[in-house]
Amino acid sequence: MDDQRFQASVAQLNAEFAQWVHKEILQNESCNLKQGAKEYVGKLERLERQRLSALCNGQPLQTCQYSLTPKQITKVVHLVRHGNGYHNPPHMRNIVDPHLTPLGWKQAHQVKNHLAKLGGKVSMEVVIVSPLIRTLETAVGIFGEMSFGNEGSVLMNARKETLERPAHPTAYKPPSLNFVAQEMCRETLTGNDCDIRRSISEQSQDFPGVDFSEVQNDLDVLGSKKPHNDKAGSRACNFLHYLFQRKETHLCVVTHAGFLCHILDEACKHLRGPIANTSTPVRAFRNCEFRTYVLTINDSGVLSGMPEGTWFIPGEKEGW
């Protein structure tokens, strides 16, 4: 299955699913869409497997399946998709910058509990987050401290329940973990209202513990442009370069399903072999799914400008 046929098939599947959801809601506003949504995800994954299978046809097997990469040109990157939002099933609201649903907050707290059970096995120095509300709230749900006795700085201010969002208490920043908003990892822009963000001045009021200094424009210049010409594949490559250039070696990225697909498409081509049909590294992310990857660069020339880390040759400095 080539890319054009794959995209056409996905578009048809999305249209059929949206039509089915609309029909079900008209018949019964309190209907349960869980089974239909599960079938939709299953069909989407089958299409993806067919595309990956076509991509790896005719590829010769390498002599050796392993490779060694110097540690100083690697970074550990944890990728997270945001939790369930009001634009996702079953709500499907096409509104500007939607919040997480109660389910979305629950998913974020489940990831938090999962990481706590792993103890010191997962470490991170910074959380890079898309500046949309659903990703900011997901980062808060996973990493924020909810104790009212916490003396740290406020990560997210408390909010009351409204028609657009559930209530939530004040959340605090954990020690030694920074939060940085980055426009490069926002969702792929296709004209949907849900992918337009609020102003940064509004976001920073609600999320005072997030550093928004890397977002250039207060108003959403990118999301408001029509027609959209979002070269998301190039943006994904630029974002990976941005991560590689950062000083931290353990990073977490909280972003969106569409953008994550572009990251995987650009950086995981080597995983599109026989394992692609049975394993998860290149499968589309589900709501609040958490995965860990090692980022490196396929250019040995960068080694000369990188810190040496643990590299040591006995006697070299004595002129041996």
- Return per-residue pLDDT of the chain as tens, 320 residues: 566 787 888 888 888 888 887 787 777 767 777 788 888 888 888 887 777 666 666 454 456 767 788 888 899 999 999 999 999 988 888 899 999 999 999 999 999 999 999 988 889 999 999 999 999 999 999 999 987 555 569 999 999 999 889 999 999 999 889 999 999 999 998 888 999 999 999 999 999 999 999 999 999 988 877 666 788 889 999 999 999 999 999 999 999 999 999 998 888 877 754 434 445 556 789 999 999 999 998 776 666 555 566 766 686 555 44
241 is catalytic: no
Torsion-angle region of 14 (φ positive above 0: left; ψ -120 to 50: alpha; else: beta): alpha
Q: What is the pTM of this model?
A: 0.75
Q: What are phi and psi of 308, to 5 degrees?
A: -80, -20
Residue type, 143: F
Helices then strands, each counted (H, E), the chain: 8, 7
Catalytically annotated residue among 78, 82, 99, 168: 82
Give dist(CA 194, CA 267) in Å, integer: 27
| Rg for the chain, CA atoms, rounded | 21
Torsion-angle region of 319 (φ positive above 0: left; ψ -120 to 50: alpha; else: beta): left
91 is catalytic: no
Whether the Cβ atoms of residue 157 and residue 168 lie closer than 8 Å to each other: no
Catalytically annotated residue among 145, 187, 262, 289: 187
